[in-house]
Structure 1
Amino acid sequence: MRPTRSNLFGRVFSTVAVTLLSAAIFIAFAEYTAGLVLKQLRDKRPLFIMAGTDDNIKKLFDTDNPRRYREIMAEGWRQTDTIYSPFVEYRMTPYRGHYFTITEDGFRPNGDPAPDLQAAGPKVFVFGGSTTLGIGVGNDETIPAYIEQALKAAGRADVQVFNFGAASYYSTQERIALEKLLTAGIKPDVAVFVDGVNDFYYCTVPDVSAWNERLIELTNARSRLPILRDLSHRSNLVHLARHFGGDKSVVLREWGSFCNGEADVAKVAHRLDTNRRIIDATAERMGFKALFVQQPVPTYSYDNRKRPFPVQEEMLGYHMNSARGYPLMAQQRAQGQLWERGLLWLAELEPAEGNAYIDTIHYSPRFNKAIGDKIAQAILDEGHLPPLVTPSP
């Protein structure tokens, strides 16, 4: 009996259906397996983790009061908590804690009470990333806090220092943050920018921020991409293939990016230098002074064998970009290619004694003080502050 056309169609349909179902099952299994492999790779990634014993905390913080820093670390999750803010894309979330505080105006006070942005008197604004914000230390142990303490010790108790550091900020966001304050009618006498580590962490030009991926997803920009490209962004198989192809970012799962070559490194150095030139021109026209700090990093000059706990290169992730960027900027500086006015080069600085870093990248209280003291001295030496007004008898 010859098969009818309908029977033949049914067999073809059944074969195609079984094939497609088998392919779907295989792809789902492969995706699941690739996801497990990626999880294993990410879980094995070295992290800066040490037991929170009193002895370990004493070594990291050079302290006889480990309880204080255990309490500070308990508030640590708030120190990277951010909310949307126009133009800079995000800012620190207001919070009132025992050791960590962010005011409604977006700055971290140096102690109690918090200063008033609208109050009269000389003001120093300090911009930077999480190292300026002061991850892992108390309100009174940040770089801006030590700047204020050093100025007071030098007889300038009239100066208020404002900590506008924000997690993952780099020079472009800091420049815009300053401009937002200026257009709101809030002007400092001195604006300090502590930069270097995050500019190279985000080795991407044109600029993106730590919120870039989040904002893309929130605005559904990816839904307008071709379907295959969109699926490739989500595929564990594609991510695993990228990893074995040498893309370390797949396992790191951080917001930065690796510099692919010397051209990328040079672009980032140019970005930082250009932002400094723009800020200095703004300061000159608007009537305040700018101070640019090339901050210390553990990937340049510093001997990481001094740490109380070992740090492998894998732990530093995208911060290894600085190991290529800082030598380039040092060379450019020696050749007179960098913007020098207001530049305070602290790339080789480290504390005279004690520990320098409490984790892979953030400074210890002792190191914050060493940096803050240098900045305060530069402000005083350069005559950046208005003359001290003494009360009339």
Structure 2
Amino acid sequence: MSKAYLILADGSFFEGNSIGAEGKTIGETVFTTGMTGYVETLTDPSYFGQIVTQTFPLIGNYGVQPEDFESKKSWVRGYIVRELCDGPSNFRCQGDLDSFLKAQNIVGICGIDTRKLTKILREAGVMNGMIISGQEAEKIGIKKADDGSCQLVSEAILKEIKEYKIENAVESVQSLCKEKGGDFKGQRPLGEGVAENAEGACSEGETSPVKFSVCLFDFGAKANIERELEKRGCKVTVLPYDATAQDVIELNPDGIMLSNGPGDPAENVSIIEEIRKLCQSKIPIFGICLGHQMLALARGAKTSKLKYGHRGGNHPVKDLESGRVYITSQNHGYAVESDTIPAYAKLSFVNANDNTCEGLTYTDIPAFSVQFHPEACGGPHDTNFLFDRFIAMMQEK
């Protein structure tokens, strides 16, 4: 393996080995605590613009399974692991992780102290970073201090890192469809390999007879949202991020699903305005992650960026009605500010670690939303029942 380097905006420096493609990449450096599901992480559009650090020390041990992809490609800007397994073993394995990263042109680094890196991000907050390897690494002029204890990089490099900004995130990850009204089926780049009853997929089994029609807004939707709806007898029509409220109303659906996606929710001004109009239609609405945040913004709440976000498959949330705590999968850097929630909404879930808003139920319209992922693949599935709640809402309507 050739050498690779990770440089953070605060000057922190890590030397390791190159994995994936060689070159240079800059992104927002974040960490995720998932022990499994790295394939889903790499193909989740919500990670657009981010360099992802896996805190679990060994990644790649079960290889790559295309039927588990959450979208057509990988959206991460870079990838960081402690140890990369180069000899995966699993009956569903169709390739190793390093080959996948190369094929997707993802620049990565392994062999660094990911615990130290995670501590930096927890204490200082997420920050921009650069992974550089190969010929690009030879150009930046890394120097060691006189005592050999640290490395120095030029101010020009640090300036380049600091200036990076995630922009046009939702528009950039049209992962499910390209045309208004486009059907998700047949547009999966892997064809039948990502079918609802694909061997080993999260939502195994046949889909139910069609009972409801649902419009799924694609803000960077994960494939398993559509699978979970179809499994419950929903005919799903996938709409692009720029579909209008009138487009939806003309389709006369039984329900509306607002998907997950990347970036700052408040930047999507035109989308939020269309959601505001849809709320007046009284069509049942279910929002997940970015969809939850933009629905809240449409109803008058505010959002703000978290210090280091919530990413991984072990985040506890408390159901304020039952008092029960669920373990959830999460991937977000922004949250709805609880003290800005309007009178016609009630807090339904809170994060058990930091008490941030994890769910809202609206009392004046048939709508609810959650910050976490009830469709999580590869788990946990504790909150999968929320899809049943959505079905019941449509049935009642």
Shorter-chain TM-score bucket reads: 0.3 to 0.5
Write 1 or 2 for the structure with the bigger share of strand.
Answer: 2
TM-score between the two structures when normalised by the length of structure 1: 0.37
**Per chain length, whose mean CA-contact separation is higher, i.e. which structure has more relative contact order (CA < 8 Å, sep 6+)?**
1
